[in-house]
Amino acid sequence: MINITDFDRLAEEEDVALRDAATPGDLAGTDVIALARTKNTVEDLRYLGQAGFTEAIRERVARRREVVGICGSYQMLGRSVADPDGAESGGIAEGFGLLNVTTRLLTNKITRLVEADPLHFDVETSSSGRGYFIHMGETPRGDARPCFHVRSARGVSDQQARTCDVSTDGAVSAGGMVRGTYIHGLFDRAGFRRAWLNRIRLRRGLPPVDIERSERFTQRLRKELDRWADHLNNHLNVYLPIGRPS
């Protein structure tokens, strides 16, 4: 398991019920299937197929339910994932086939802080996101549309930015119900989180919720993190080495 907190902020929203799905039957009644938490994409794809999740997810998409994948799970949403160099477990696996993309895993890891503007949201709010890349692999989009316009986050040096020279990220299906991205941490920012949730509310025939609700939660979380940081600062002596050892 890696980056297991990508969707945690959703659980604190008043209009969201977030639950883990242990079996394909647990997907019944969901508005969105959120895929994350993989560090072995090829093996996990095989497991999901054997467990019946692949067909269950395809069936939910056919019923106009949304599917979102981040990083390795974005790769799963495509036609195939190949690992010829053994970056993870090696081999090749058929993907869900919900996005017209293919992935080849690479041994070098891409890391970068980014700002992201959604390209296909049907609501207008301050919906930009901030997150980070940490992945191994190339995913050509074919004829799929990208999800985000990407730029380096403020405070990132030119040298860091050059390690991942892309201006767009992710892919969205023709019907807009399947989305994949390499950006972790998107839902931590209140504006993006609320814009995304309001899209789902509109599909359900519900009125949008004001962004202030999501902002209040984010502020509470920030205060808790600051309180914890102050506690550590008061009770731990932290020494940072200067320079490199010879």
List residues with catalytic annotation: 71, 184
**Whole-number Cα distances in Å, 240 to 230, 231, 237, 243, 244:** 18, 19, 10, 10, 11
* Tokens matching residue 172: 């969205």
- Strand 91-94 to strand 80-83: parallel, antiparallel, or no bridges (unpaired)? antiparallel
* Tokens matching residue 100: 């017209």
Residues in the chain: 246
* Tokens matching residue 6: 């990508």
Question: How does DSSP assign 31-50, residue by residue?
Answer: SEEEE---S-HHHHHHHHHH
* Tokens matching residue 54: 């692949």
Alpha helices in 99-189 (DSSP H): 158-162
The span from the CA of 106 to the CA of 95, in Å, is 17
Closest CA to 198 of 206, 189, 190: 206
**Whole-number Cα distances in Å, 72 to 6, 36, 103, 210:** 12, 7, 10, 32
